[in-house]
Structure 1
Amino acid sequence: MTAVLSAPSAVTCDDVAVVRPAAPAIAPLADVAGATAQVPLCTGDTVRYANLDYAASAPALTAVAAAVTDALTGYASVHRGAGHLSQVTTRRYEQARETVRAFVRARTDDAVVFTRGTTDSINLAAHITDGDVVVLDIEHHANLLPWCAPRPDGSSRARIVRAADTIEDTLVALEAELASAPAALLAVTAASNVTGEVLPISRLASIAHRHGARILVDAAQLVAHRPISVVSHGIDYLVFSGHKVYAPFGAGVLIGRADWLDAAAPYLAGGGATAEVGVESDGCTDVRWHTGAARHEAGSPNVLGAIAIAAACDELTRVGFESIGAHEEILRACLDDGLSGVDAVTALRIFTDSTDRVGIAGFAVAGHQPRAVAEFLSDSAGIGVRDGKFCAHPLLNRLGYRDGAVRASFGVGTGSEDIDRLVGALTHLTTKARIE
């Protein structure tokens, strides 16, 4: 039966043949929490959850969960406590900085500032940046809106460059923009959260530096899939979120050159950021702020979030990016081949010359709204995907998907059974199912 869409959409279970694929050929590479979770289907049955929404929030690695559990047994205040557990917790928190520094191969004098996530990290970067910022129109909102915020005089510091149809022409456009007038910063996403396409960060850094600008790299969608070297890639500022790298608790980091961070006013005013404070009847006096990471980490930090990120960095290092890359390359090829075999499915791409993608596949299903597709996959096959415009509205609009699209994404906890189940369910949807 041809699938028919009307709103509101609900799966008619009589038309759904639950896809139960053959035994997996490729097992997950690492253990993640919730890997055996059972979810209900519209038929009344249950099935193991196929999590294909890693790009939104990756499941916690079991090694990360264990590290957090261990830290909880000795959890206490940090930095100014004389008690033994306070000292232990402080050491764990500060060691987490060094673990992150080593993981991204940062400079020894780079600041490592813990934040609430990538969005918070980029807002902190915007806070410390003076001058114009060059950015592409294909960015996630987190790497677009902070730069578009008006200056006190109402002017915008964002200089938005339209990405070309090829990566090569996009690099030419960025170089031309940077050459046209001074800019403080080039802010780019390392891997698209919509298509997974990876940009050549080293070349972008060289372009920025050639024209006197620094480069900020949003690595939220790259850091769990590819090795990153702040030094070798020539990165000035790197940001990412814990929840994209198998670490929960709403934490992130900004790693980069300390001079702008030390010169800027504290991101937040409060305890921990100050070395000395006095008061008079007309206000605070003699306020002296710390330099370094503490200057921008006022208040009680997310200690467990930082510990979780460090544990994820350690575990990914143990698994090895060579193994991760090989695992995800096989799964990506399986997914691409499977989607290409479903006539109604169109894969999303930004560039015609891109050759590298992480485990992200954005696609549209002809004749079906994205939310209806996502609900069908969940209700009929126990598959979790993302639908909508993925906080990248300008990109989806220019690609012609103003109503959004569907996104499947995966990582080290994914096996080929998950990919097979998705392809089978989409095939069923486009050839037999009915959505009412």
Structure 2
Amino acid sequence: MPVLTPTEARSCLPVVGSDTLVPLVDGTTIAYANLDCAASAPALVAVAERVTTTLPLYASVHRGAGYLSQVSTALYEASRQTIGAFVGARTDDVTVITRNTTDSLNLLAGCVPAGPDGEPGRVLVLDVEHHANLLPWQRSAGGATVLHGEDSVAATLAALRTELARAPYALLALTGASNVTGEYLPVADVVALAHEAGARVALDGAQLVPHRRFSLAETGVDYISYSGHKTYAPFGSGALVGRRDWLDAGTPYLAGGGAVRQVDVDSVVWTTAPARHEAGSPNVIGAVALAAACDALAALPAGTLEAHEAFLRERLVSGLEAIPGVQVVRAWADAVDPVGVVTFSVVDHDPGLVAAYLSAEYGIGVRDGRFCAHPLLSRLGYAAGAIRASVGVGTTLEEVERLLGALSTFVTDGPGATYEVVDACWTVSPDPRPLPEGSGLSGLIATAAAGFIAESAGCGPLLDQQ
């Protein structure tokens, strides 16, 4: 992998908002440092441009006779092809347009077939998973076995092999890259041991696809899901791509128009995938946006994104480890080539306070909490949460250095402002920062939003939707 110099460690692709100024508590403004790409990545400029071009062409799809309806249908179906091709879909694979990874995995959970004995197919997962790749399987017809990950990749693979040999499983559902540590298991090894045991493999690609080239055809993975909002296309779309047979026969995800061949007052004949799982008017703009992101990422020279992220991650990890009291979280001691997601803690300091400080005094956005990966954080000893910094195509070395400098100051001098817990979240007290002009927010709306976040999660940063 190429080694980048600091001069070369600029953004790979231009993103919307890279020059957005945010207010600090001292009354100044600074360019926002978005180190929370693992939660929601900013839109690529190329995506915003494609959406702007497409909006005047938007109309109903699939059943409209009008010219713009035909154009919109063509745009939607062309986008489907691009979205599938981006993850190396095989000729007979299906690409279903969904809302996000969570949507995709819930859809797939309804398509796992019964085994030869007629019993519902059972799913095997690890405790390292994001809740999106855990909860759908637990409430699926066959249920799920949750296997505790071991301290090393080698030991975890051995545990998977043992469990797959112990009982029949229809599916092994696994993260493509951890949303907590950026680490992952080698795909080739996972596919080999699962297929040998007669199980299919579904990858949660939410943190893999935006960071690494991936191919279903080359790896033998059976299904992959990913989200537009993590792939620089935050327009409400995602995808499930994989083998047709389960998707053609599985329970239709939504009951409604477009998913059927014939409806009578007391019966229905469902159509095949992908339409079988796309009832209702589809998100044409979201599909176009995701396809534009796929085009832009695919056009990068091979290795460019990987080298960019590796350089920034290495600097981030080495810088964090040099700060007294900062601990970097790892799931597997022998993991190699992790993606640009790094979680850490500051000993004896609440993660929420550290995150609020970074935002209010340095204009840095990070994530704190348990990242919708409660079992993993608990097993690793961070049941109270931690802090996550994540990089992407638009991240610069300056932003990483700003984070490291801010943390060093926090450890040596403490915060410069006063903070308190309000509605279970740390905040500046009082907070002098104004709301963005033209945002449409008011004190009433902002307060209501904060109350919703606190009530639904205990604290907003605990949420990390995929």
- Residues 1:83 and 1:150: Cα distance change in structure 2 (over 3 Å): closer
Matches within 5 A, 1:132-151: 132-149=122-139, 151=141
Distance 1:368 1:195 in 2: 20
Contact 1:77 1:86 in 2 (8 A): yes
Matches within 5 A, 1:326-337: 326-337=307-318
Per-residue deviation, residues 275-321 of structure 1 (Å, max 9, x unmatched): 11122xxxx23x22111200010000111111111000000011234
The match for 2:26 is: 43
Aligned mate of 2:363, from 365, 382, 385? 382
Contact 2:109 2:140 in 1 (8 A): no
Q: CA deviation at 1:433?
A: 2.1
The match for 1:256 is: 242
The match for 1:105 is: 88
Q: CA deviation at 1:162?
A: 0.8
Aligned mate of 1:183, from 169, 173, 179? 169
* Consecutive aligned runs of 4 or more in structure 1 exceeding 6 Å deviation: none
Per-residue deviation, residues 362-415 of structure 1 (Å, max 9, x unmatched): 000012101100000001100000000000000111111111000000111011
Distance 2:279 2:12 in 1: 38
The match for 1:236 is: 222
The match for 1:16 is: none
The match for 1:200 is: 186
Q: CA deviation at 1:28?
A: 1.2
The match for 1:31 is: 14
1:214 corresponds to 2:200:
yes
Per-residue deviation, residues 119-161 of structure 1 (Å, max 9, x unmatched): 010001100013110100110000001111164xxxx620111
Contact 1:262 1:292 in 2 (8 A): yes
Aligned mate of 1:365, from 346, 362, 371? 346
Letter of the 2:215 counterpart:
S
The match for 2:332 is: 351
Q: Secondary structure at the match of 2:233?
A: coil
Distance 2:409 2:8 in 1: 22
Distance 2:273 2:208 in 1: 26
Distance 2:140 2:96 in 1: 25
Distance 1:321 1:429 in 2: 39
For structure 1, the residue ranges without an aligned partner over 5 or more in a row are 1-22
Distance 2:147 2:38 in 1: 25
Aligned mate of 1:167, from 141, 153, 158? 153
Q: Secondary structure at the match of 2:164?
A: helix
Identical-pair percentage: 55
Q: CA deviation at 1:231?
A: 1.0
Aligned mate of 1:399, from 380, 389, 395? 380
For structure 2, the residue ranges without an aligned partner over 5 or more in a row are 1-5, 114-120, 420-466
Aligned length: 405
TM-score, structure 1 normalization: 0.91
Q: Secondary structure at the match of 2:27?
A: coil
Contact 1:225 1:321 in 2 (8 A): no
Contact 2:110 2:140 in 1 (8 A): no
Aligned mate of 2:256, from 240, 261, 270? 270
Q: CA deviation at 1:224?
A: 1.0
Q: CA deviation at 1:79?
A: 0.3
Aligned mate of 2:304, from 323, 326, 350? 323
Contact 1:39 1:48 in 2 (8 A): yes
Distance 2:359 2:251 in 1: 47
Q: CA deviation at 1:267?
A: 1.0
Q: Which has the higher relative contact order, 1 or 2, with Cα contacts under 8 A spaced 6 or more apart?
A: 1
Contact 1:175 1:207 in 2 (8 A): yes
Q: CA deviation at 1:24?
A: 6.8
Structure 1 vs Structure 2 CA RMSD = 1.2
Contact 1:25 1:417 in 2 (8 A): no
Contact 1:106 1:230 in 2 (8 A): yes
TM-score, structure 2 normalization: 0.85
Distance 2:8 2:188 in 1: 36
Contact 1:359 1:410 in 2 (8 A): yes
Letter of the 2:280 counterpart:
G
